[in-house]
Amino acid sequence: MDTKLIIAISSRALFNLDTSNTLYETQGVAAYSKYQVEHETDILEPGVAFPLVKKLLNLNKYGEHVEVILLSRNSADTGLRIFNSIKHHNLDITRAVFTSGLSTHKYAKAFKSHLFLSTNHFDVKEALESGCAAATILPSITIPNDREQLRIAFDGDAVLFSDEAEQIYHKNGLEAFARNEQNSALKPLPYGPLQGFLAKLHSLQRQLPYENCPIRTALVTARSAPAHERVIRTFRQWGIRIDEALFLGGMDKAEFLNAFGADFFFDDQEGYCLSASQHVATGHVPHGIKNRS
């Protein structure tokens, strides 16, 4: 298992459970359970993260590279509908945890997941605090594509990197931030919460065909010159190849994510996430100074 990219995902991120979730919120757990059992042969429609999972699992045609694990707040009884839907959609998911309403984040770490995706903000926060890379899946407007290649875009500060530089910007402004980044250009940025996930993606890329590699990554950051040099040198020091780097100087990221053809985007700032989610499946990483109460 250690050689694989391991993704833990909640059932509501994988499938559209809006109808049954509304029933749970309005009528309670008994009505929800009854509904799920009565409809357990009704196949669930794909959720926001379904295309990402499909493309990740498709990488296994090159070897046993990826495992996806289902983590659900359903009970095992109500979860039968989810397993029936997994089988119908031909998803190679065999490991699962059903917690009957309790938080699932501790199992993401127990499975040594490189990434945990959930629609539950509290589960994601707890996962991050325990040291597991995680993001909250937002409701997103996405257009499915037939492209086999998986394209994942990341913000930089507080996502791939720590929020060390972002704290300076927050406290002292853009000029102080730019001056600090120039002075620290030769000092690699500390790891952020998703650095390990990117490193695992890069390791996987090295095992896959180089020409027309089925994974492509991009950094899409609000940074601009002269704050670019420290970022480039950080990737170099980490030994990680990022396929595309977009230094946007504060411009809205949505159109650029479209241009890149992103299948998924990770950012720590809710504003960028909400804008991006109108075009691409988006995960909010609630980490760093921008997410402190």
pLDDT of residue 2: 61
What is each CA distance from 119 to 39, 69, 159, in whole angstroms? 22, 15, 18
Question: Quick check: 227 and 179 in contact, CB under 8 A?
Answer: no
pLDDT of residue 11: 94
pLDDT of residue 13: 96
Which residue do the tokens 């089925």 mark? 214
For the stretch 190-221, pLDDT in tens is 999 999 999 999 999 999 988 889 999 999 99
For the stretch 40-96, pLDDT in tens is 999 999 999 999 999 999 999 999 999 999 999 988 888 899 999 999 999 999 999
CATH architecture observed for domain 150-291: 3-Layer(aba) Sandwich (3.40)
pLDDT of residue 54: 96
Q: What fold is seen in the domain 5-137?
A: Rossmann fold (3.40.50)
pLDDT of residue 249: 93
5-137 with 150-291: one CATH topology?
yes
* Residue 1 scores a pLDDT above 50: no
77/74 Cα distance (integer angstroms): 8
DSSP three-state, residue 286: coil
What's the whole-number average pLDDT of the chain?
Answer: 93
For the stretch 169-189, pLDDT in tens is 889 998 999 999 999 999 999
pTM > 0.85: yes or no:
yes
DSSP alpha helix (H) spans, 100-249: 105-110, 121-129, 164-172, 174-183, 195-207, 228-238
What is the domain partition of the chain in residue ranges?
5-137, 150-291
* Residue 245 scores a pLDDT above 70: yes
Note if 163 is an active site residue: no
Q: Which of 77, 123, 146, 155 is catalytic?
A: 155
Question: Quick check: 81 and 12 in contact, CB under 8 A?
Answer: no
